[in-house]
Amino acid sequence: MFDILGYTFMQRALLASTLIGAICAIIGVYVVLKSLAFIGSGIAHASFGGVALGYLLGWNLIFSAAVFSLLTALGIGTVSRRSQVREDTAIGIFFAASMALGIVLIGLLQGYNVDLFGFLFGSVLAVSQEDLWLSAVLGLLVLATVALFYKEFLFISFDAEMAEVVGVPAVALYYLLLALIALTVVISIKVVGIILVEALIVTPAAAAYQLTDDLGRMMGVSVAIGILSAVAGLFLSYWLNIASGATIVLTATLLFGVASILSPRRRAVAEVPSEAEEVTQWTAE
């Protein structure tokens, strides 16, 4: 059953899926806690412009997408903080402009290109050795930064204003977190695609949030769910001959459903009588 691991492309795909599953799960915890899911989606779609630009100029596509996504993330943060434009409006502007730029650049290319559209929907089996090494370097950079600023990110996730009062550079950390989201998006798009990468970032963390309130345990559970979703989705997609990115996301969604059913929060809410029930009981007595 696991004879497919004898193929080099499948070994690279497995390593890439495991790496992406873990990194998305860790960054996803902060995305969920700070309600940044829409920003993650905006950056993911904006990266399409970077991919198209890289292909037009002959650059490494992950590198060009990383630079473009970082600039977009910082642009969203700057516009939303230094102007009267709301954050969701700024995301919408950059989202639309970047996608439009990507479409224009695609129009300048001669003929249809499969590799370019593979970034939209994911193509984990096409991950090259170069892609894997670049993703590993960027992934280690993300993980090292999270480890270095673990407490500070925790503080701004729950109370950014108080963090600023006590001397924590909340604004700078906010921009840094946006940059980490951008890098996470970039190293994930080859596996699940631009369309689905935001779901892989949010879903494992959201599932973990259903099971625990402790940030350390939440990250551990999120990583376990992220890796399980990526690896199981990869094998299922291969055996069933279906799209790998979509299968990974659907697997994560299924695990989220299971976590929601088993959630202590759900049981606690079910055990606490509603106001109407309390009034009925009091009246009966």
CB 248 within 8 A of CB 229: yes
- Residue 258 is predicted with a pLDDT of 93
CB 215 within 8 A of CB 154: yes
Residue 109: which CATH number? 1.10.3470.10
The residue segments making up the domain with residue 103 are 3-270
Rounded Cα distance between 219 and 200, Å, is 14
- Residue 54 is predicted with a pLDDT of 84
Per DSSP, which regions of 104-227 are E strands? none
**284 located within any domain:** no
Enter the pTM of the model.
0.83
**32 located within any domain:** yes
- Residue 277 is predicted with a pLDDT of 47
- Residue 116 is predicted with a pLDDT of 65
**159 located within any domain:** yes
**113 located within any domain:** yes
**237 located within any domain:** yes
Q: Where are the alpha helices (DSSP H) in 111-214?
A: 114-121, 129-148, 150-158, 160-165, 170-192, 197-211
**180 located within any domain:** yes
DSSP classification of residue 166:
T
Instruction: Give the count of domains, the chain.
Output: 1
Rounded Cα distance between 55 and 8, Å, is 25
**76 located within any domain:** yes
Residues of the chain scoring pLDDT < 50:
269-285
- Residue 1 is predicted with a pLDDT of 53
Burial of 253 (0-12, 13-18, 19+ CB in 10 A): middle
**276 located within any domain:** no
* Among 6, 28, 47, 19, CA closest to 206: 28
